[in-house]
Every structure is written in C-alpha cells, then in structure tokens.
C-alpha cells in the first residue's frame, strides 16, 4: 500500500508541472482584461474674466462632481472582480489604488521587452506599448507581437500550483519516512480526498485500468478545488477568478478530450460510426446517427468547459451583486441602506458557505465526468447485432 501511494505522488509532480505550463499558455489564448486603473476624465478649463467668476464656477461644479464620484458602478465592480488584469488590486483608500504590479512580457521583432505593469496607466505609452480597454496594444498599431505577460490569473495559478506541490511533496515525504500510519495535520485532510477520488470516482468509472489515469484525475481535482478555494478568499493571495476564466476551463477540457481520444480503443470509434441497434435508415443514405455521435464527441469537452466556467462565475456575480445592493440603496437613503445591509450581508454570508460546497462539487463533477469519458473510451464494446 505504501509503495502504491508513493507511486501516486511521484506521478503527481510531473503532471502538476505540465498542467502549470500548458495552463499558462492557455490563459493567454482568450481572456478579457479590465482596465488596471480608472481613466481620468478631462475637464474643460473655464476661462474666467475675474477670480470671483472662477470661484463661482468651481463652487457650481464641485457638488455635481462629488455626487458623481460617490455613486457606485456595480456592473464595473463586478466585471473588474471576475475579469483578468495586469495588476493585482488590493484595496482602494480614497482616490488611491493599492495594487501589486505584475510583469509585462512582450516579444516582438525588436526583441524581448520586460517591464512592470505600473508603467502602463490607461492610455499612456511605455516602450511603444499601451493599454486600451485592458489589453496591451502597440502604439503604431502593429499586431505582430506576442503578449506573454504574467496577468492576475496566471499569478494566482502559479500560487495555487506551488501550494499544491508543497503540500503533495510534504505528504509524500511523510509516507516515505513513516509508512502507513494515522495521518496528521494537512495529511489528514488530503489523504481522504485522494482515496475518495480513487475508490469512488476512478475505480467505478474506469475499471481495473484506473491507475493509468489516476494521476491526471487527482491533478485536475486538486487544481480546480484549490483555485476555487483561493478565489473565495477576499484578500491577497486570494480573490482571483481562475476557474471562472473561460480559457483556463478550456485548457482543462482539452486535456480530458486529448486523453480520451488517444486512449480510445478501436471499438470506441467503430461504435460511434456504426452504432449497434440503430435502424438502417438512420445510417443510410444520410448518416444521421454517426453525425450525432461525432457531435457528441466534441460536445463533451465543451460541456466540461462551460459548466465549470459558468458555475464559478455565477457564484461570484451573485455574491458581489447582493453586496453592491447595500451601497446602491444607501445612495438613495442612508436608513434604507442600513436596512438592506442586514439582508445583503446575511445572504452573502450564506452564499459564501454555499460556494465552499460548490468549490468541492465542481471539482468533483469535472473529475467524475473526465473519468466516465475515459471509461467509455477504453470499454470493450460488443455489437448487439450478434445477439
């Protein structure tokens, strides 16, 4: 048993590293960045004939500007939270934004450009590049460059993977030193999850060849679960919406699709092309059923991608939406804001605990469906036409 457990952890390490690098490449494929800092609005200069007119003009515009700044843009707040960014926003105190700048890495014809994202305010140019609507573009309009920047989601993914490596290597070292003993500390939390995925997911879904796929199943389960948990933490290093990023879930789904396709036996593809028990007129002259089956092959990873993305993103939007109601109603009336805050805080707290369940549930569902796809691909299919 100890040898088997050490074997599991030994395969987990390279799998984590591969997932880290491919996930980093995938997050650059499709992401919708939000602006790092708010665009400052240009106010027209009022030319006054005297200092009295200037003071009167300032007094007239000041209340309107203060009232405008006091309003909360709930939609913008929510989108900034769930979207990717080139810095890690910590807090806003007054008009000061406290954030951690992240590396900007750009490869173009002139070479490699590496600098801090703090140089790229909205609309400002640095080394020939600027940010418009949250995306880095060339000042001259040239699209012949590669943006390899470390964005917020990439940085959060690095943190989660390093945390997983540290935990798994610590548990593997404990097995090596002590053998099979009663688990202690973090091992008592992780070990039941490993056995749960092995005994309740891998073995029932795949069968006796489960060991070949167990390292991948454990990897995606803990990767999704840890990133979901980190996303619920409202302060650094949490708060990033990694699994709510469509490119991240796309890469994970493509991993499952690739493993399913390359592991599939010949009978799996024959079963798709020539489905047994189907009337001949659904196969000839128009191959309706084979077309439906092929669509199903490609729809499975699509469902995996959208399911995880939609559920995690929806949870963040709901919590932030109810939290924003406090400030929206407070702008109408202070007493109304206090009244709504009781229900908003209570519901947000309830949703936070519910999101803890969703964090585990979505990781479990993604892992279970992946295991079922693997089991279907390597299963021996027997034609019903011979019975």
In DSSP notation, 185-227 reads TTHHHHHHHHHHIIIIIIHHHH-TTGGGTHHHHHHHHHHHHHH
Distance CA 131, CA 137 (A): 6
Quick one: 89 and 193 in the same domain?
no
Quick one: 317 and 173 in the same domain?
yes
Last residue of a domain, one of 147, 167, 184: 147
Helix axes 246-263, 334-378, angle to 10 degrees: 10
**Predicted local confidence at residue 134, as pLDDT:** 72
- Assigned domain for 41 exists: no
Last residue of a domain, one of 95, 112, 147: 147
Quick one: 258 and 337 in the same domain?
yes
Quick one: 138 and 200 in the same domain?
no
**Predicted local confidence at residue 365, as pLDDT:** 95
**Predicted local confidence at residue 49, as pLDDT:** 42
Quick one: 84 and 188 in the same domain?
no
The answer to whether 191 and 207 have CB atoms below 8 angstroms apart is: no
- Assigned domain for 46 exists: no
**Predicted local confidence at residue 275, as pLDDT:** 67
Say which residues have a Cβ less than 8 Å from residue 191's Cβ, sequence separation at least 6: 171, 183
**Predicted local confidence at residue 380, as pLDDT:** 61
Quick one: 303 and 205 in the same domain?
yes
Average pLDDT of adjacent 10-residue blocks, the chain of 387 residues: 50 48 40 36 36 42 45 75 82 77 88 86 80 80 85 92 91 81 82 93 92 94 94 83 92 95 86 70 69 86 93 87 82 81 84 89 95 88 43
Its domain, for residue 86, covers: 51-147
Beta bridge partners of 5: none
- CA torsion sign for 213, 298, 157, 138 is positive
Mapping DSSP to helix (H, G, I), strand (E, B) and coil, where does residue 39 land? coil
CB atoms within 10 A of CB 312: 27
Mapping DSSP to helix (H, G, I), strand (E, B) and coil, where does residue 62 land? helix
H/E run at residue 110:
none
- Assigned domain for 38 exists: no
Phi, psi of 270 (to 5 degrees): -65, -40
Quick one: 193 and 128 in the same domain?
no
Instruction: Determine if the pTM surpasses 0.85.
Output: no
Phi, psi of 147 (to 5 degrees): -95, 105
Q: What does the DSSP 8-state code read for residue 122? A: B
Closest CA to 151 of 115, 108, 117: 117
The answer to whether 233 and 316 have CB atoms below 8 angstroms apart is: no
Quick one: 14 and 122 in the same domain?
no
Quick one: 341 and 207 in the same domain?
yes
Mapping DSSP to helix (H, G, I), strand (E, B) and coil, where does residue 150 land? coil
Quick one: 122 and 219 in the same domain?
no
Query: What count of Cα atoms within 13 Å lies in the side-chain half-sphere of residue 258?
Result: 7
Number of domains, the chain: 2
**Predicted local confidence at residue 253, as pLDDT:** 95
Say which residues have a Cβ less than 8 Å from residue 214's Cβ, sequence separation at least 6: 8, 11, 197, 198, 202
- Assigned domain for 316 exists: yes
Give every strand in the sheet of 129-132, ordered side by side: 125-126, 129-132, 135-138
Last residue of a domain, one of 147, 179, 194: 147
Quick one: 225 and 338 in the same domain?
yes
**Predicted local confidence at residue 139, as pLDDT:** 82
Distance CA 168, CA 9 (A): 7
**Predicted local confidence at residue 285, as pLDDT:** 65
Report the chain's terminal Cα–Cα distance, integer Å: 42
Distance CA 95, CA 90 (A): 13
**Predicted local confidence at residue 284, as pLDDT:** 66
């Amino acid at each position: 048993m100890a040898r088997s457990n050490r074997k599991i952890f030994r395969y987990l390490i390279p799998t984590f590293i591969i997932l880290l690098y491919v996930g980093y490449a995938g997050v650059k494929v499709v992401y919708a960045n939000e602006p790092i800092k708010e665009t400052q609005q240009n106010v027209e200069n009022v030319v006054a004939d005297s200092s009295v007119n200037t003071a009167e003009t300032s007094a007239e515009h000041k209340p309107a500007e203060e009232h405008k700044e006091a309003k909360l843009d709930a939609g913008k707040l929510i989108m900034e939270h769930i979207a990717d960014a080139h810095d890690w926003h910590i807090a806003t105190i007054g008009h000061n934004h406290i954030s951690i700048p992240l590396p900007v890495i750009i490869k173009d014809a002139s070479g490699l450009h590496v600098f801090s994202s703090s140089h790229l305010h909205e609309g400002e140019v640095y080394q020939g590049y600027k940010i418009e609507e949250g995306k880095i573009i060339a000042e001259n309009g040239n699209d012949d460059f590669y943006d390899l920047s470390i964005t917020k989601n990439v940085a959060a993914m690095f943190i989660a993977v390093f945390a997983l490596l540290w935990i798994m290597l610590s548990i593997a070292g404990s097995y090596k030193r002590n053998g099979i003993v009663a688990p202690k500390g973090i091992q008592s939390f992780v070990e039941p999850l490993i056995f749960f995925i092995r005994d309740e997911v891998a073995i029932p879904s795949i069968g006796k060849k489960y060991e070949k796929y167990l390292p991948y199943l454990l990897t995606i389960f803990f990767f999704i679960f840890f990133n979901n948990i980190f996303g619920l933490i409202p302060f650094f290093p949490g708060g990033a919406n990694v699994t709510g990023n469509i490119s991240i879930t796309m890469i994970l789904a493509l991993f499952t699709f690739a493993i399913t396709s390359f592991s599939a036996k010949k009978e799996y593809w024959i079963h798709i092309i020539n489905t047994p028990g189907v009337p001949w007129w659904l196969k000839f002259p128009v191959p309706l059923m084979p077309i439906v089956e092929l669509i199903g092959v490609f729809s499975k990873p699509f469902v995996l991608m959208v399911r995880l993305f939609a559920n995690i993103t929806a949870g963040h939007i709901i919590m932030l939406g109810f939290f924003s109601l406090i400030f929206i109603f407070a702008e109408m009336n202070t007493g109304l804001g206090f009244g709504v805050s009781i229900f908003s805080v209570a519901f947000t707290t309830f949703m936070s605990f519910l999101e803890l369940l969703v964090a585990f549930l979505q990781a479990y569902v993604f892992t279970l469906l992946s295991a079922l796809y693997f089991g279907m691909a390597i299963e021996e299919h027997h034609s019903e036409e011979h019975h």
